[in-house]
Chain A
Amino acid sequence: MTTMTDPPNDQGFRLSQLIYDTRYRSATIQVIALIAFMVIAAFLVRNTITNLSALGKDIDFGFLFSRAAYDINQKLIPYSSNDPHWRAALVGLLNTLLVAILGCILATVIGVVAGVLRLSNNWLTARIMTVYVESFRNIPVLLWILAFMAVLSESLPSPRAFRGEEAEASMWLWNTIAVTNRGTYIPAPVWGPGSAIVVVIFLLSLLAIWAFGKWSQRRFEATGHLLPNFWIKLAILVGPTLLVYLLLGRPVAFSLPELAGFNFSGGIHLRNSMLALWLALSFYTGAFIAEIVRSGILAISKGQTEAAYALGLRPSRTMNLVILPQALRVIIPPLISQYLNLTKNSSLALAVGYMDLRSTLGGTTLNTTGRELESMLLMMLIYLVVSLVISSGMNFYNKTVRLKER
């Protein structure tokens, strides 16, 4: 409907209309912008081609399929130095995602706790949290990563210290966890026969918890009685699984870390590079999240709390029923952009030798094959895709929770 136009122009088309006529003007500007853009792009591409050919290079992603020839210490999927470069890159990407996801989880926990404690009416705790937030926010994350790494590798005992009759160091928690300057070793589950049943039961009890939640909500609505949900859920979570586990004669064993040769073996090895990166990113981002949580809660006007109080709701109920549902809408968008930052910051893995995407594809692969252009482009593209996925998740969330207004 919007395309009806002025009366037909008697003089026909004049060149000056390109600039002065609103109908053509925008087209003109766009065409000029497009041309300028193309010219710049062409200029860059042309330079790149000339430069590459001057060096006798070309653009070729074939290197991804040649033998990588280097080892990666932390690998979530099987990988050996005989595998091709793309697989090394994949191992790196998974490591990036691993530290990003773990980081987001821990950062959220830290951030929420710190944010809420900052609002607590305990003067001392609130102050401590302020100190935490202000110190982590205002110091570069890289410094924190290095500092965490330094703590881990300088102040923890080396595996050697665990050796001998009267060893200088000992393991934690009844000899199940070994904290060394090479990393921390924790027990790893060993799946014996019958363990599948335990896992299934565990999954079923998760389902049961969900069903119970629904049921108890309905019961509450019907009768007004509220059950001690938390404890019941906890019982469902732990009870059946534990029972089956014991009945089946403990099918899931744990392999404990043991000192063997130079190092501990057995158990899961959390390398210091990962721990340092993970902790530093989490604490750093946690400080920002604490601020987000705090201001999110504060943004829900005092009036809401007062109205809830005036209706006789207890503070904890007020928090759960009135403040949090509203605060979440305020909190989640900036929270997600913090997740985005954390993911991008995980590329600082470089500083501590964690083999993430940047250290594999953008590091060793790049400089053993000499394909810097291809590797960098590919790497940026992957990061971009990860970011876009996260931020489209945010947009989706935003659309679903927007408050209805007139």
Chain B
Amino acid sequence: MQEHTSAAFVRKQMLDQQPPPRMQVGAARWVRENLFSSWFNGILTLVSIYVIFLVLRPALPWLLGGVWNAGSLVECRQILTERFGNTHHACWAVLTERWNQLIYGFYPSSQYWRANLAFVLMLFAIAPVLFDRLPRRMLWFTVAFPFLMVWLVWGGPIWGPLSVAVGFALGGLAFKLADRFNSMAISAIAAVVVALAWWLFAGPPVVTDLSRIAPLGALPRVDSRELGGFMICLIIGISGIALSLPIGIILALGRQSDLFIVKTICVGFIEFIRGVPLITLLFTASLLLNYFLPPGTTFDLTLRVIIMVTLFASAYMAEVIRGGLAALPKGQYEAADALGLDYWKAQRLIIMPQALKISIPGIVNTFIGLFKDTTLVMFIGIYDMLGLSNAIRANAAWNGIYWELFIFIGLVFWICCFAMSRYSQWLERRLRTDHR
């Protein structure tokens, strides 16, 4: 379109310097230019080589010469002494023996397939969110996934999760029906009331009856305390991020709004959550939450942790989304106003779709942070991978084994987080070049 303006002859952006062609360089020159271009550079190179040498010399034999089969550390050391005459080698045997515990916690091994299936389905559920080239219809599966996951992981008849889903559906329906009053407030209230009515009153008896009459798909129940390892990190991380998204949106809108009280409440909440360490919130979950709830309500520690992690993440999410909102030109709001869309419709149809898209890299980064932070649950007695590594060490057979476990755990986290950060970089690049 721009072909015929004067701009045709001007490149708008300088490119980065590129290296000269290989035929112009040659290995010797490459080395000189990249490693020894000045005396300082030369020193750097030598230091670097020394550092690499220092790290690899003990690490390589240790890593490669490890023992993979042994029943205990002592046995392992025996094998090593026989084989090498010393014990400066890894004892990977602990992984061979306990890897399933590190991954699944105390999940009954006969039910591993459920966890695996949930994991695979999770990939499918997340894919359409991450890659917008995929068919949008896959999002329906994404919506259904949480319920499916709860059912798969915790077991029991399918009716429970299904009833929760029905509550949501009824709420949505009520929202739609109340649409004609043309007021977001009424719609929202209707939705909440209907959904709560179902969850609290209508739903439970129906579920109990159905479970009795037709215990459809009744998987053996697995308790929360049997969850652990990598699995619990994933569950807490994913639910935290998914649940914090809506709350984060609301907080961000609240913070942007010019209603003083609403804004103050939101700012107060966000700053409070961001101002205290996550671990104090987790302790609150494990020590204090029961004080704040009506007498006699006790619920699952995992659930409490998810609630706290959600609150935590939503404060960060709110800031990320606020950034996205701020990046939108004011014209978008004005155009929406001028077309007669009210605040909520404008948000839903115009502002949020764009702001969220801009925020995805930020959201992914929040998620990486959150995912790494799930290791803190070890302090409140949930056996995540680190907690399990302590538990494994508590066993006399493996007392004193550190590195093999740390390396395994580190590697698992590294792969996940690195992949995600690459994804967010890719996305950032794409959003920048996307003609939007």
Contacts and interface: CB of A to CB of B under 8 A. Distances in A.
Report if A and B touch in the complex (beta carbons < 8 A): yes
A140 B233 CA distance: 12
B379 A350 contact: yes
A29 B287 CA distance: 35
Interface in B367-387: 368, 372-373, 375-376, 378-379, 386
B277 A125 contact: no
Contact of A154 (B277, B291, B402): B402
Nearest to B400: A154
A44 B378 CA distance: 27
B37 A121 contact: yes
A124 B288 CA distance: 52
Contacts of A143: 375, 386, 406, 409-410, 413
Given A147-B406, A388-B275, A19 B37 contact: no
B386 A347 contact: no
Nearest to B406: A147
A44 B295 contact: no
B283 A30 contact: no
A142 B295 CA distance: 35
Interface in B414-436: 414, 417-418, 421
A76 interface: no
B10 to A, nearest CB: 14
B48 interface: yes
Contacts of A51: 290-291, 295
A52 B376 CA distance: 28
Q: Dominant SS at the A interface?
A: helix
Contacts of A137: 417, 421
B276 interface: yes
A344 interface: yes
Contacts of A26: 258-259
B140 to A, nearest CB: 32
Q: Dominant SS at the B interface?
A: helix
Contacts of B9: none
A383 B276 contact: yes
Contact of B44 (A122, A348, A376): A122
B47 to A, nearest CB: 8
Contacts of B278: 344
Contact of B276 (A31, A37, A128, A344): A344
Nearest to A123: B34
Interface residues of B, number: 60
A17 interface: no
A344 B282 CA distance: 13
Nearest to A120: B44
A34 B261 contact: yes
A392 to B, nearest CB: 11
Contact of A52 (B33, B260, B291, B406): B291
A23 B137 CA distance: 43
A139 B283 contact: no
A223 B349 CA distance: 65
Contacts of A140: 372-373, 375, 386, 413
A19 B182 CA distance: 12
Interface in A376-406: 376, 379-380, 383-384, 387-388, 391
Interface in A1-49: 19, 26, 29-31, 33-34, 37, 44, 47-48
Interface string A306-348: 0000000000000000000000000000000000000011011
A347 B368 CA distance: 20
A30 B259 contact: yes
B52 A384 contact: no
B284 interface: yes
A240 to B, nearest CB: 32
Contact of B48 (A33, A124, A147): A124
Contact of A376 (B33, B48, B271, B287): B287
A209 to B, nearest CB: 26
Nearest to A366: B287
Nearest to B419: A138
A383 B277 contact: yes
Interface in B43-85: 44-45, 47-49, 51-52
Interface string B264-278: 010000011011111
A378 to B, nearest CB: 11
Given A121-B34, A150-B403, A376 B413 contact: no
B294 to A, nearest CB: 5
Given A143-B406, A150-B403, A33 B259 contact: yes
A141 interface: yes
B406 A146 contact: yes
Contacts of A352: none
A134 interface: yes
A180 to B, nearest CB: 18
A54 interface: yes
B34 A122 contact: yes
Contacts of A348: 279, 376
A54 B295 contact: yes
Contacts of B6: none
Contact of A122 (B48, B279, B400, B417): B48
Nearest to A142: B375
A83 interface: no
A138 B413 CA distance: 7
B122 to A, nearest CB: 20
Interface string A59-71: 0000000000000
Contact of A121 (B41, B258, B277): B41
Interface in A100-146: 117, 120-125, 128, 134-135, 137-143, 146
A387 B272 CA distance: 9
B242 interface: no
A50 interface: yes
B14 interface: yes
Nearest to A344: B277
A344 B376 CA distance: 13
B86 interface: no
A140 to B, nearest CB: 4
Interface in A140-165: 140-143, 146-147, 150, 154
A312 B315 CA distance: 49
A265 to B, nearest CB: 29
A4 to B, nearest CB: 19
B222 interface: no
B283 A376 contact: yes
Contacts of A344: 276-278
Contacts of A29: 259, 262
A362 B280 contact: yes
10 closest residue pairs by CB, A with B: A387-B275, A138-B417, A123-B34, A140-B372, A344-B277, A347-B277, A384-B275, A30-B261, A140-B375, A150-B402
Given A120-B41, A128-B51, A358-B280, 11 more contacts: A26-B258, A44-B292, A48-B291, A48-B292, A124-B48, A138-B368, A139-B414, A140-B386, A143-B410, A147-B406, A384-B271
25 contacts: A30-B260, A33-B261, A52-B291, A54-B295, A120-B44, A121-B33, A121-B34, A121-B37, A121-B41, A122-B44, A122-B48, A123-B35, A124-B34, A124-B35, A125-B44, A138-B368, A140-B372, A142-B375, A142-B376, A146-B386, A347-B280, A348-B376, A373-B291, A388-B271, A388-B275
Interface of A: 19, 26, 29-31, 33-34, 37, 44, 47-48, 50-52, 54, 117, 120-125, 128, 134-135, 137-143, 146-147, 150, 154, 302-303, 344-345, 347-348, 350-351, 358, 362, 372-373, 376, 379-380, 383-384, 387-388, 391
